[in-house]
Structure 1
Amino acid sequence: MTSAARDPYTGRLDALVVEGRTVRDRALLQARGEVVRGAADTVARALAALPPDVGRVEVDMSEVTFMDTSGLECLDVLGEYGRRRGVPVAVTGWRGQPRRVLELVGLDDTDPLPAAPFAGSPVRNASAVARERAEQLGSLRAEIAQLRHAIDSRPVIDQARGILMAAHSCTPEQAWHVLREASQRTNTKLREVAGALIASTAPGGPPPSGALRAALRAAVARHVPPPPAAGDGTAR
């Protein structure tokens, strides 16, 4: 059972796989791959395939290599299964980045599922917990989105820096300062400045806007020392 999940950093497909077996009345599930969008459906299908007389579910997460906020959805699916069936569900073996996600949202990184309110036990009011989890989820989603945007932007910015280094014989750090100052001067996102510069170097490519050209010239003048005059440094 897999989710068609795409690695957001390398582009490789590393779908979540949930394999299971039963030992007496225990269901032992092994999760492997990445817990991203679509993973909750994979977990739900794995649970639906379990025998109806299962008395306990144990999920091993030790082979999960990456997890975003979809992991919280998976925990909700597992918790709901335990409450609905009246069986304990344990999710253990957290390692690396997935474990860090649990820490960020304030969950137990040994077994993040709270004790399930089994049949006959009182169900506590979880509205405050639900609100807190929703706030943590929103914050974590925003952080992950920012990280992905930064990673996606890096190749474009590095290519633009290379163009400036070749054109002005400057260092990588100087090229970075030129791009950043041009971005600030024109109130344009750094990635857009880099993209415009790259596009202008293609055959027949559109030149940067007048404002951006002026900002780049000013930034180069500030951050890139002029080449030494002919004869400087020669022996007399």
Structure 2
Amino acid sequence: MRGQAATIGNASAGQDLVALRAENDQLRRAPAGRAVIDRARGMVMVLTPCSRGAARDLLVDISRQCDTRLPEVAAALVVAWKGKSLPERMQRALRRTVRRFHVEDQGRDSRQPGKSSR
């Protein structure tokens, strides 16, 4: 009985250790993911003059269209900025998203009081 309790205790401690290591790895990767998302967001803000929130929304939309995690989309955009080609699927999603953003933005501008529509 005593040996069985020790084994159960060790199994639980082993599972806890595995869970803690996984959580630690995730916490270590999180800042790097946020940094690449921030960099990609800044790129989007430059390319499609928009607010920080709108840039994040654009990235999230691309992520959803491609069924790819946001940090992966952001990393692909950053690498593309440096000369590597963006995967075709992301290129299409980026074009659709930016086009839709500009159409929506033009609609907002034309509805604002005091703005003339040309």
What is the TM-score when the length of structure 2 is the normalising length?
A: 0.74
**Deviation sequence 1:157-182 (CA, Å, 0-9, x none):** 10000010111122212211211221
Question: Structure 2 CA distance, aligned partners of 1:140 and 1:221?
Answer: 44
Equivalences for residues 1-236 of structure 1 within 5 A: 124-125=2-3, 126-202=6-82, 205-222=83-100, 225-227=104-106, 228=109, 233-234=114-115
Label 1:233 to 1:208 Cα distance change in 2 as closer, same or farther (>3 A). Answer: farther
Question: Structure 2 CA distance, aligned partners of 1:188 and 1:234?
Answer: 39
Please tell me whether the aligned partners of residues 165 and 171 of structure 1 are also in contact (alpha carbons under 8 angstroms): yes
Unmatched segments (≥5 aa) in structure 1: 1-123
What is the TM-score when the length of structure 1 is the normalising length?
A: 0.40
Unmatched segments (≥5 aa) in structure 2: none
Question: Structure 2 CA distance, aligned partners of 1:161 and 1:134?
Answer: 40
Question: Structure 2 CA distance, aligned partners of 1:233 and 1:168?
Answer: 23
* Structure with the bigger percentage of helix: 2
Larger radius of gyration: 1
Please tell me whether the aligned partners of residues 183 and 189 of structure 1 are also in contact (alpha carbons under 8 angstroms): yes
Identical residues among aligned pairs (%): 34
**Deviation sequence 1:38-76 (CA, Å, 0-9, x none):** xxxxxxxxxxxxxxxxxxxxxxxxxxxxxxxxxxxxxxx
Label 1:210 to 1:233 Cα distance change in 2 as closer, same or farther (>3 A). Answer: farther
Aligned residues: 108
Task: Specify which structure has the bigger relative contact order, considering alpha-carbon pairs within 8 angstroms and separated by 6 or more residues.
Answer: 2
Question: Structure 1 CA distance, aligned partners of 2:57 and 2:115?
Answer: 31
- The amino acid across from 1:233 in the alignment is G
Deviation at 1:223, TM superposition (A): 5.4
Label 1:189 to 1:137 Cα distance change in 2 as closer, same or farther (>3 A). Answer: same
